[in-house]
Structure 1
């Protein structure tokens, strides 16, 4: 793609500061500078990006990160299958069980800044190995706690969550060091692994539950995660590790783009886990079998994988902010229009496809935005700061939907009882979408700009 088509948001030279080199891109007075604070880390990032191999060993790193994403994201996105099985066996209510599933992603946000420091101390490979070990141990021990809500909170929630959080930051920041023009594609491939993982794990988990038990589903998947995920982690290698004592770069909050993206993440994470946690229960309320519920969850994750990959490509072609807007717009439409009208399998399949793809777009696009705007060598800290804002949405987003469901008749009532929870999730998606519009207009008022 020719130079005049570069994304405004990733072009640090678009600032008002004069350059010794002639510009290959005509000035556009409707565009805001990409970053007002120019410092040593940003300059180092520009230099590293200018020599990024756009492949080579980077594809090995992307493949390894994709496989780790298969397990860490797929495990969380298949929780709805386990939640439905435990609820059916009388362990607890969906609202309580959804707290356990939410803890995995909550740890990603809660520990993001700490994990950014751990990556700088241990390196990406050792951090990934530690994370996979923690996740696997949590899953295996969960197999001995299927009759204890408290035990599952500790094992499937906290232990697995800590492991997931360690791996998450590794797989979102490491590929960025090897790519510049293809950064969106690389992030899309990595994130797509999580969607595929959610689909495969949902079906495998349901099969083990049906033929053996939930306990053995935890144990078997935990052992496989440790063996295969650990092997993948061995191939992760940083291209240019940065050693820094910086824990939080507060000055980033002085940039309107960073602050707005931070707020987008806070709000957008509230609805993201609602569909995947409650689709199995919703399908049961329609009289569908648990096998169909698991298949719908798998379909959601397959669609999410396609959305993650497609949005990665779209971020390179259309710009990450434009892609993020499209994803949140589709999320809102699916929650406000399609899901409330899904009173049979056909419309529900349509919802699963649309919402799954839109859901995946958020996760694939955010790392591209952060890395492109604030520098590939600052991305671990900047991404850690952004992800920290996701604590509230990950922790209480799905449980709020569960409590709303209970307040309107519960999961065994009619499908009308689910609609207030759908509208709650949809309203959060709309709010996040409007914030994206604000930062999009701030960056460039031209509708055709690739930002």
Structure 2
């Protein structure tokens, strides 16, 4: 027994001087050269059978080792019968999920979400035209515009609650809330026959649910992709463009053949199916800890955030004018509703292609430069093609060009945010910028409708076209200032393509 106590004391001294990062070994009379771990005993047999004394020593060494403090920055190495080095399970989980496997299911679900949510938004001009000329003929354009105003405002602006909602109930249940509200809004809208009822159901309820889903969807690429993050954002965003090609004809045909109620019911079933899939696809990620607050005022103190909000406010107002009124201008020059619907298909196709190409354009030129060019080009074609001509071919070409340029703010703004903000701030920052989009719609659409009623006498679209073109140009100017600021005051971007 005295020999055993000597061995224990010797092992305790060794445990104090050995570096924490090295593997602890047990003191013994002989150490096998073929293995890293040896057990302390009076003798080590050739077959490495452990004696009862070695068990006693090993247990004593474990208690002695546990009594010493080990550096907080390193893993504690426990002495046991099997002391093989272990891997950190969370790191394995993070590496395993990025860029492959379930990540592509998440990408598919996000793209489908964008397809149905923004597809409905992009095709809202069909509802607007139906409300103006069929369902609510006696109502003013300003009054009717509140349906679309609240839809777009809520679908863009309510996303701020997505972050704290995810923080409190998790990604999956937050997605479930969004899926439930958006589907419920469409279901109730199908049985609404007054402007104020549609403003609440199709506007507020559907818009709020859609906004939660959109915000969660934009966070997913940062959680599931590393190498292909920008590509994932571009693919998801393209769903909103191609969505108009899918949802537009559905709305047109159901309005024509079945009426407004069944048109909204069909959208309800589509929305329910796709958003339910996202509840399954958006798996919880343990490492993701969103900020548990609706708004962090420090974000508003960052100049980059303010530039994105102001530029987005102007761009969104400019964008909703053709989104809401272009189909009506096509009908005003003598074309049918089906022809007007076809222009939306062309716009949506161009939008989908540009969103897909946005990641490549951002990589070669920088997202900020691309946005400057896109907003400047949108303003120029609006004032030079849509304003002076009353020709359908010119209108069609204009709308295709506008479809390629004007929607780029949506895919590239999240790219700028993902590059310059930590993961736990991405959801809130996107929510702040989308709130600016929503406020733009809340303020801009009623003003636009009022201008159409008063200056345009509900017939002339000239003032609306001029307004849209000027707003696009002002947005490009704000983006120029944003570019100068980033180059001058953000060190990490001085030598980057921005």
Secondary structure at the counterpart of residue 357 of structure 1: helix
Partner residue, 1:57: 102
1:444 is the counterpart of 2:484:
no
Give the drift of 1:238.
Answer: 4.6
Give the drift of 1:430.
Answer: 1.4
Give the drift of 1:243.
Answer: 4.9
1:154 is the counterpart of 2:200:
yes
Partner residue, 1:30: none
Choose 175-184 or 337-346, whichever is displaced more.
175-184
Per-residue CA shift, 1:325-381, capped at 9, x if unaligned? Answer: 122122212222221134122111111111112222110111111111112332012
Which residue of 228, 245, 249 maps to 1:182? 228
| Structure 1 residues 75-154: aligned runs within 5 Å | 75-91=120-136, 92-145=139-192, 147-154=193-200
Partner residue, 1:435: 478
Give the drift of 1:148.
Answer: 0.8
Choose 310-319 or 167-176, whichever is displaced more.
310-319
Q: Distance in 2 between matches of 1:294 and 1:93?
A: 23
Partner residue, 1:202: 248
Partner residue, 1:286: 333
Q: Distance in 2 between matches of 1:95 and 1:200?
A: 29
1:266 is the counterpart of 2:309:
no
Give the drift of 1:392.
Answer: 2.2
Partner residue, 2:84: none
Normalising by the residue count of structure 1, what TM-score does the alignment of the two structures yield?
Answer: 0.82
Give the conservation status (yes or no) of the 8 Å contact 2:178–2:212: yes
Partner residue, 1:35: none
Q: Distance in 2 between matches of 1:114 and 1:228?
A: 22
Secondary structure at the counterpart of residue 295 of structure 2: coil
Which residue of 452, 457, 462 maps to 1:419? 462
Q: Distance in 2 between matches of 1:217 and 1:292?
A: 19
Per-residue CA shift, 1:93-147, capped at 9, x if unaligned? Answer: 33332221121221134323222211222223322222122112211211111x3
Q: Distance in 1 between matches of 2:354 and 2:445?
A: 21
Structure 1: 5+ residue runs without aligned partners? 1-47
Partner residue, 1:374: 421
Closer, same or farther in 2 for the Cα pair 1:158/1:254, shift >3 Å?
A: closer
Give the drift of 1:205.
Answer: 0.8
Give the drift of 1:447.
Answer: 11
Q: Distance in 1 between matches of 2:143 and 2:397?
A: 28
Q: Distance in 2 between matches of 1:346 and 1:447?
A: 44
Closer, same or farther in 2 for the Cα pair 1:87/1:64, shift >3 Å?
A: same
Partner residue, 1:276: 323
Give the conservation status (yes or no) of the 8 Å contact 2:290–2:427: no
1:400 is the counterpart of 2:443:
no
The Cα RMSD (Å) is 2.4
Give the conservation status (yes or no) of the 8 Å contact 1:140–1:220: no
Q: Distance in 2 between matches of 1:54 and 1:80?
A: 37
Q: Distance in 1 between matches of 2:175 and 2:290?
A: 18
Q: Distance in 2 between matches of 1:157 and 1:253?
A: 27
1:215 is the counterpart of 2:261:
yes
Closer, same or farther in 2 for the Cα pair 1:381/1:52, shift >3 Å?
A: farther
1:192 is the counterpart of 2:248:
no
Give the drift of 1:386.
Answer: 2.2
Give the drift of 1:79.
Answer: 1.2
Give the drift of 1:449.
Answer: 5.2
Closer, same or farther in 2 for the Cα pair 1:398/1:302, shift >3 Å?
A: farther
Give the drift of 1:404.
Answer: 1.7
Give the conservation status (yes or no) of the 8 Å contact 2:170–2:284: yes
Equivalent pairs, count: 399
